[in-house]
Each structure stands twice: as C-alpha cells, then as structure tokens.
Chain A
C-alpha cells in the first residue's frame, strides 16, 4: 500500500523553515567559534538532522544529500574531533540560505537551483578533509564523556520537542535504525543514552527498578519473590520494601498485594535482560527500570510498592522475610537501608520503609488515599530521568529559549496550550450561562426579571471574554518579526564595514498575525536605513568620540490599544536643513516657512525622496520611506520620526493591535448608519453659523479655534438623502487623517461601540471612502468610513468640475 506523501509536504516545508531559523539563530549566537558550547552545536545538529530526516522520507534528495554533508561536519564538531572555525560558521550560514531557497523553490513546485549547493558541498568536503589531521589525539577521554553527557541533555530535550509534533514523528518513522533515537519516546531515549553512558563507564551498571504490582498479581500465580530471586542472579541486588499502602489489619485482604519495592541492581546485564524477568507481570504492575549514576542512593529514589501476601499468610512477617531473602542480606542490613531512607528525609512517603509491624498502623488504609502518595512517587521517579538537577535546569532553560525563538510559519499558527485552555474554560462558562438562561425561560414570570437581567449581563461578560480570548489566538509575539534582524545586521555590517550592535527589546509583545506579516517589510526598510544612513563608519564614530560600535535598538511595547515599535540608532541623525534642500531639489512641494522639525521630517516619507548621496544596494533608491508609510497606513497605523543631529534617530511605528475589531462611533445620515473609527475623531460639535466661512470659490471652512477645517457633507459625498442639509446648528464630527482635519456633516450621533470589521471586497469590490462593513446589533449592515479615502475622493470631485469649466 502506498501512502500519498505529498500530504505531508506542507508540514515538512514549515518545519524545515523553522529548523533553518533555529540553526541560523544558533549560528548567530556564536561569538567565538572556538569556545562554542556543546548545546549550541547540538541544537544546530538536531535541526539539521530533522531536516535531513524529513527530506529523505519525503524524497527531497536535494535537501537530504546536502544536509548530510553538513551534518557530517557538525557531528565531528559535536564530538570534539575538530574545532569550530569562523569560516565554518560562515559556511553554515550560507548553507542555511541555500536550504531556505531550495525549500521555497520546492514549495512552489519549482526545480531547485542546485549549483550553489554543489559549490557549498565542495567547500564542506574540502573542510572535512583539511582538518582531518588536525584532530587532536590528546583530546581527553573526559572531554568525550562531556560531550556525550551534554548530548544526552540535548537529545532528551529534542526528543521531547519532536514528540510534541506527531507529524514529525511519523516522518521519522520511515527513517533507518540509526535515527531511531529520534522517534523513541523521550524517556526511552534517555534510557538509551544512559546505556551509552553506562557502557562508557565500562563497569557493571546500577539500575534502579521501581516495581509496583497490582493487588491481583498474586491471584495469577506471579510471585514477586521469584522475580527478585531471578534478578539476584544477574548481579548484586538490594531491595527496599514499601508498605505504606498496607491497610489496617481488619481490612486486609489476604490474597491481595499491597507492597511495592524499589530495587537496586548492580549488574552487567542489559536493560532488556532485566525487563525479560518481568515479562510475565509487565501488564500487571507499574515498572520503571532506570540507570542510575554510581552515587545513586536508594533514598533518593521513589519508592516501589507491593503488597505481598504469600502463601495465604497474613503477610507482614512473611513479606519481610521474603524481602530479606531477596536481599541476600540480613535483617540488620535492611534496617540500615530503612533508616537511611528515613534520615535523609526522602519525600515523606518513602520513609515508610519501616519494620512491617509498625506499618500496619499506617493511617493510609483507604485505597482512595493510597493514590496520593503514589502519584507523587511517580513524579519523583521521573525526576531521576534528569539525573542531576543542574542538567535539568539547563535543559529547561534551553527549551524555553528555543520556544521563544520560534519559527516563522507561513500558513499555520502554533497556539500555546494555555490559550486553548482558557478558551475551553470560557466556553464552559458560556454553556453554564446558556443553561441557566434557558431554564429561566422555561417558566418565566416577571418576578424573575432581575435574574434574567443578571443572566444577560453574565452572557455579555462571557461573550466579551470569549471574543478577547479568540483574538488572542491570532496574537503572536513580535519576536517572529524581529528574528530576521540579527542575521540581516550581521550581513549588512559586513557589507558596509560598519560595526553595529543590535538590541531587541520587548520581543514578547504580542500582535495580530496579519499585522505582523505586513509590518516585517517596513521594519526591514527602517533597519536598513538606520545602518546605511544613520550609523557612521567606525573611524568617524571614533573621531566623534562615540563608541566604535554603533547601536540599533528594536523595541516593541503596548500603549493603549496600539502597539508601538521603535527603531532607534545612535548614528548621525537627520539634518532638517538637508531635508529641505533635498526637497527643493526633488521638487517636492512643501511649505518654505515650515520650522516644525516634525513636519520637516515628514518630508522624507514623500514619494521620490532620498537623501543618500550614492545609491547603494542597501537603500537609497528613494522608494523606501513612502512605501513604508503607505504600508503602515494601510494597517491603520502611523509613523513618527524623532531625531537629533549627531545623536541619532528614532522611528516610531504605531500599529493597531488587531485588524479585526475597531472602536467606532456610529453616526446617522438620512436612513443610513455609518461607523467612524474612534481613533480618527478629534471632536464632535454643533456648528455655530458665525464660524462658517466661505473662501476661495465656495469652499466652506469651519473655524475651529485657530484651525480652519473644511466641511464635507457626507450626504453629498455619498449621494444619498439626508434629514438636514442646512449647516446651521448641524452636527459636525471633526476627524483627522494624514495630519489634516476635516469636518463631517452628519444628521445624528449614535452609540460608540466596538465593531467587527468585515470585508466588502470579498464579494464586491473596493468602494472609495469606505474601508469595510460591519454588522450592527439588529443584524443590519453599517459601512465603515475610510477618512483619508473620503478626503481624497472629495478633493478629486472638486477638481473635476474645475477642469470641465
């Protein structure tokens, strides 16, 4: 049976790109290649390995072959057979680019361009051969061991990561045996690694066996005693019996087993051999077999329990005897272990390794209660997987880092489980509210009116919370957009010879996915400009008494309903005089008398403006800033510039958090209701006739304090009927867009409310002056005004008749 693999392609592409991002970020984090830490290398190796695995399974040999070579080199670095050189880092980065290009080409069903790949492969192979003799034979054994042990951590972690994604597992399954470690559950993997570690040590290994049979085990004729005897034949066995689950004497069932054990076995035997012994009881017990380091102490381990009720005897003494036999030691020895367990304060419940007679007084006689210590035992035993606290902290930290870095996925979102959980909670509450309301409705009379209004209030609350939480699902940390910059800065500073230090702040600020996708390009423009125009050359910086290394700070934060992204540099700043001169040069229209620096800076956003003395391939074609501003405007945001000559510039981008919801003011014109975005409203007022002036040929201006605001009667602009066509006493909503103010003449101001934006273009087409539609509470459709579009439209309408005349 053949499976259509193409259904996995998309997943592979996404994961490959993600993996490449991880590789790239790890590579960029390497400052001094020769002192690189193992974890970074392992991280890169893992990412490359997953890509290779996936590619090979799906038949993308171009990628898998290439990655294989890359991996070979990485593997040698990982095993300290050779040291990482900066040329290698460079080469790896190029490989990332190549792989990314190839992946993208494959995504679009193109035949990948492979020449670059073969060049890179040649470079890799050269490197592989060249450094062979450099191999340091004096590399100590311990260093090898170090690398193995840290790879244990890394692989533990990556094993976990891989398991998170089922699809990745499925792909891996097709791979050969050598890669089995990837598809095994992370726990097994650790054990495998432990095996390795154990073998490396060369001695007999010490295994910790936790054995907790189910109560019925004796009824099937399986006797723990025999199992232990067999175990004892493998090597040195120490057993520790836990009887904290023993019920009171009266409740004791003679043929059920309440005891469990922790066994410590020092043996040459493999894990499989140990498991073989438990073969007959494996379905009837909880069993963990873990390798422990030599310094392992029984009291650290989680306890193992079993109630042994041998030969129908009321068990206590017999069981204790059994245990002693198994131990092949005397009673005193057992007691010693016991007291060890107690004195070292082993997590409370393990302390019940006390003489059995005492344990019959154990308060835990109820089975329901038994569960509690049991579970904690399990979690304790799991902790041992990490063997040492330090390592577990390291691996945790690493996990966090990688999750933080994330990858830029194209068409799907990874949503944190907490967000989904909160959604489920809210839906639960909603269901409760709903059932409450429907119960109320079954038998309603006026006495219950208050309860009804309470219920409706609750429903309103639930809906709002639900809405917020659904919106949160679309929210991603801005680090997805920021992540591309370290690489870009590195490349650009190499190209320009300028030294730049990039600082990222507030990467966890979340914003809507759509906004994020559209903000990336403008940000790239801004950062490029900062390097090209802002930061001076190192020599010049030193001459100016600045730090040789320029600094660019990218930061993001929330401010009210907006997200503010700042790109700041400590370069030469923007000279207003230079801008004015340039604007004259380029025939850009502006007010000569303008002295407000803010207004002058705004000129750089005019089309065709560029101050770069020479056009470089980084920036300076004069298309940059106006595109930046247009993109940001399209998102409903704005951009501000602040600059001091010699000190640097700050570009501040204000963006709405989401594109889907907007705070709006409802207004009525005739029979129609329109929504004006609240952010654009300056004020609403009643027209006083003395403030109306007709100027320059029938253009009507309203005197608003010092400003003269042109009036746009909405009914005229939209060609509809209105109640009120007289200006006197009419309502005017003053709105602002592009720094210009206009007054919209409306019939009535209605409510302010949040509206959900719906597209008109989907089924119809773009309408000038309208940015979208929304559905009001009564189910009718209201159109949302696009203020700048409306201004544009009115301005054009006015020009046309003039031309005609």
Chain B
C-alpha cells in the first residue's frame, strides 16, 4: 500500500535529478500511524513514533493526575506513560491484550523528549497530503484544539491527526490546571 501510493511521487521527483533518492519519499513526513481510542480514530506523524510496545504495569508516580500511569524503563531511559483514553476522556480504560503503548519522541532544540501513550489498538499507516488535511472545527470536543493538527478522511472514518509536539507537552500545562 505504501509503495502504491508513493509511486506518483517518485516520478514527479524524478524530473529533478538532484532529488532522485530513494529516501526522499519516506522523509516527506506525511505518513501517519493511526490508532484507536474507544471508537475514535487518531493519527500521529509516523516519524515521531519510536516504537510500539505491549502494555506493562509502570511504576506509579505519586500524586500525579490519573491519566499519568507512571514511568517505565525503556532501555535505561525513564519514560512516563500517559493513558490517552483518560487524557482525552474518550473511553473507559481497560488493559487487555491488544492494549499497546505508542512511544513518541520529539526533538526540540538539543533536547529530546520521549513519552509513551496508552491506546486501545494501533490500526494502520495512512498517507495524507497537506491538502487532504482538514481543519478541525472547534466544537466542544473533549480533546483540546491545541493537540489537533487536523482531520483526514479515510474511507468512511475520520481520523484526528494529533500534533505530537503539543502532545508531549501535555504534562507541563495540564498538570498546572489540576493543581
């Protein structure tokens, strides 16, 4: 599926000899990993996905908001785990076999920030050009408009694309609210 979609792109690039490089069509950054929260579909930029892990019980962080599940050891790095279902209040969290943690990484300046997000299941990788992405109407959803990059139609479903940079700052801002 990926290849089929990418073919036209490669040909357009081919007109410019300098850019004829196999890596180009991957680094376009318009691919999204989609996942399911309850009945809703969400997507994040695939380049910011570091890995997808099975659910494991994390170490609780005292006095943290309920959607912060705790921290895990990701090969020597302490990574906080956020339950997106609770965060966005879209479904009652259950921890079953398909429950997975999507580990996202964002580099801001010299600093890299890594966080894990609990989702019900990952579903697909989709491709969306900028013109396919629609602006989300701010109409009282429980997901703050800050986190939404846009909407994209996939078949009959609508996928909410999340802004990963904003998502990873979920902590600092929101926790202040709670206190």
Interface residues in chain A, defined as those with a beta carbon under 8 Å from any beta carbon in chain B: 672, 717-720, 758-760, 762-765, 767-770, 773, 775, 779-783
| Complex A-B: 18 CB contacts under 8 Å | A672-B59, A672-B60, A718-B63, A719-B62, A758-B77, A762-B78, A762-B111, A763-B114, A764-B78, A764-B80, A767-B61, A769-B63, A775-B73, A775-B78, A779-B73, A781-B58, A782-B59, A783-B71
* Contact yes or no, A764 B62, CB < 8 A: no
A547 to B64, CA, bound (A): 61
| B137 proximal to A (CB < 8 A) | no
Smallest Cβ distance from B122 to chain A, in angstroms?
A: 21
Known: A765-B171, A765-B175. A760 touches B60 (CB 8 A): no
Q: Please give, as numbers and ranges, the residues of chain A lying within 8 Å of B77 by CB-CB distance.
A: 758, 762-763
B residues 67-91 near A (Cβ < 8 Å) are: 68, 70-73, 76-80
Bound complex: CA of A782 vs CA of B58, how far in Å?
10
CA of A719 to CA of B77 in the docked complex: distance in angstroms?
25
Does B113 sit within 8 A of A, measured CB to CB? yes
* Chain B interface, DSSP helix/strand/loop, else mixed: strand
Using CB atoms, name the residue of chain A closest to B63. A719
Q: DSSP majority for the A interface?
A: loop
B76 touches A775 (CB 8 A): yes
Interface pair B113/A781, CB less than 8 Å apart: no
| Interface: B115 (CB within 8 A) | yes
Partner of B79, one of A719, A763, A779, A783: A763
The 3 closest A-B pairs by CB, nearest first: A718-B62, A781-B59, A764-B80
Q: Please, which residues of chain B bring their CB within 8 A of the CB of A775?
A: 73, 76, 78
Task: Give chain B residues whose Cβ lies under 8 Å from the Cβ of A769.
Answer: 62-63
Closest Cβ of chain B: how far from A259's Cβ, in Å? 63
Interface residues of B in 36-61 (CB under 8 A from A): 58-61
Chain B residues lying within 8 Å of A764, measured Cβ to Cβ, are: 61, 68, 71, 78, 80, 115, 171
Nearest residue (CB) in A for B58 is A781
Task: Contact check, A781 vs B71: say whether CB atoms are below 8 A apart.
Answer: yes
> Hey, which chain B residues are within 8 Å of A781, CB to CB?
58-59, 70-73, 78
Interface residues contributed by chain B, number (CB under 8 Å):
24
Is B172 an interface position by the 8 A CB rule? Answer: yes
The distance from the CB of B72 to the nearest CB of chain A, in whole angstroms, is 6
Give complex CA distance A511, B175 in Å. 37
* B172 cross-chain contacts in A, Cβ below 8 A: 765
Cα-based distance from A768 to B175 in the complex (angstroms): 13
Residues in A with CB closer than 8 Å to B70 are 781
Which residue of chain B is the closest to A782 with respect to CB atoms? B59
CB <8 Å contact, B62 and A767: yes
CB < 8 Å neighbour of A763 from B62, B76, B80: B80
Given A773-B71, A780-B73, A781-B72, A763 and B78 touching (CB < 8 A)?
A: yes
Known pairs A764-B61, A765-B172, A775-B73; list 7 more (Cβ under 8 Å): A672-B59, A719-B63, A720-B62, A763-B77, A767-B64, A780-B73, A781-B72
State which of A717, A762, A780 has its C-beta within 8 Å of the C-beta of B62.
A717
Q: Which residue of A lies closest to B56 (CB)?
A: A780
CB of A108, distance to nearest CB on chain B (Å) = 16
